[in-house]
Amino acid sequence: MNTVTSTNNLQSTQTDFLPLQGTDYVEFYVGNAKQAAHFYKTAFGFQSLAYAGPETGMKDKVSYVIRQNKLTFVLTTPLRTDNPIADHIYKHGDGVKVIALKVEDATSAFEETTNRGGKSYMEPTSLKDDTGEVVISGIHTYGDTVHLFIERKNYNGIFMPGFREWKTNYNPTSTGLLYVDHCVGNVGWNQMNPWVKFYEDVMGFRNILSFDDKDISTEYSALMSKVMSNGNGYVKFPINEPAEGKKKSQVEEYLDFYNGEGVQHVAIATADIVATVTELQKRGIEFLNIPPSYYETVLDRVGKIDEDLQPLQELGILIDRDDEGYLLQIFSKPLEDRPTLFFEIIQRKGAKSFGKGNFKALFEALEREQDARGNL
């Protein structure tokens, strides 16, 4: 086994040339942003925040911004065919385009990363309105995915210039989702290490955990993964690549259907996973089914936990422990018809790891779904 654990953060912020304050927002390019916004509000408990479209001077696209605690999603759809957003949707289906990172200085973030080999997506751009200024810059990452650097320290508006407040009487209650815990990318064969090097060299991240195909394989399919973290640990990007198995890797299925590399899952933190998942299931969100046998032995593996096992089993929540504590996690089925993007809901109780002890049960559950689609 090749697992390496390290908990040392960068010793000094002076050495961090790209200080990140966390995830600012995640932007999805979708075929129908109006309906997607309704889905995320209704099913996941987001609130309407802001809107941009022809009425606010945006002629070729519409964006809805929804928020729950520190979790902000932007849902964007093109209004015409001759449009790079339309091309993105034609190629990938609905998916994550932007992982936006909050920075103190978007100009410095752009210069530091592009000087280290990052490919420019957007040069530093100042957006102003009567409530202040937002500066945005951005670089490309795997596939057609991009990182935007968002500087909003001089802004007091609702989201950013070009958007207006989205007022509505439809405000479903929260499901307790708090913030992005991590965002996982699926990359192609032999592409994990080049992207690890990208995050190290261009963005100053470190590889904090590695899983080889012996860690992450079932009887049939396999993958490899390395977890990249920024200096303060606020931003974590695991990178997966497929590995050879008897049958097709789940990562390969993703790559086939997304038509390239992209975001596999967004993990969202909650402080009460039983309450959150109970509410999400009530609202129709489907999760991977975990066999009862998992729960017969799980406490032997993870030891004592605060929660009763019964509700965890009823909901299909997984448990894992590391040196620092334990975590509770669950994985949704894909959020669109293509077997591409899904969500993880995670509650950390000390553990800083990613649920290695659950990989086998989890991937067997994933494979049952993959098999039902005829893609195993």
* Shortest spacing between CB 267 and Fe ion, in angstroms: 4
Q: Map residues 203-222 to x or -, x wherever contact with Fe ion holds by CB under 5 A.
A: --------------------
Subset of residues 160 to 179 that bind Fe ion, contact rule: CB under 5 A: none
CA angle 48, 50, 56 (to 5 degrees): 140
Going from the C-alpha of 319 to that of each of 179, 228, 323, the distances in angstroms are 20, 22, 14
Beta-ladder partners of 96: 28
Name which of 37 and 312 has its Cβ closer to Fe ion.
Answer: 312
CB of 231 to Fe ion, least distance (A): 21
Q: Which is nearer to Fe ion, 295 or 342 (CB)?
A: 342
Give dist(CA 14, CA 66) in Å, integer: 34
Sorted by sequence, the CB contacts under 8 Å of residue 27 that are 6+ apart come out as 63, 73, 74, 75, 76, 96, 97, 98, 100
Q: Shortest distance, CB of residue 38 to Fe ion, whole angstroms?
A: 26
Q: How far is the CB of 191 from Fe ion (least distance, A)?
A: 19
Q: Measured from the CB of residue 355, what is the shortest distance to Fe ion in angstroms?
A: 7
Residues 268 and 68: beta-carbon distance below 8 Å:
no
By CB under 5 A, the count of residues binding Fe ion is: 2
Residue 331: what residue type?
F
The verdict on 181 binding Fe ion (CB under 5 A) reads no
Q: How far is the CB of 30 from Fe ion (least distance, A)?
A: 22
The neighbouring-strand residues paired with 95 are 29
Binding to Fe ion (CB under 5 A) within 120-159 occurs at none
Distances (CA, A) of 64 to 167, 168, 279, 286: 11, 12, 23, 24
- In 3D space, the residue among 246, 243, 202 whose CA is nearest the CA of residue 226 turns out to be 243
Nearer to Fe ion, 149 or 237 (CB): 237
Binding to Fe ion, residues 330-359 (CB under 5 A): 344
Residue number with CB closer to Fe ion (113 or 186): 186
Which residues sit opposite 179 in a β-bridge? 269
Residues from 227 through 286 that contact Fe ion (CB under 5 A): 267
- CA–CA separation, 224 vs 322, rounded Å? 20
In the complex, minimum distance from the CB of residue 298 to Fe ion, in angstroms, rounded to a whole number: 18
Task: Using the minimum distance from each CB to Fe ion, give the nearer residue, 144 or 344.
Answer: 344
Binding footprint of Fe ion on the chain (CB under 5 A): 267, 344
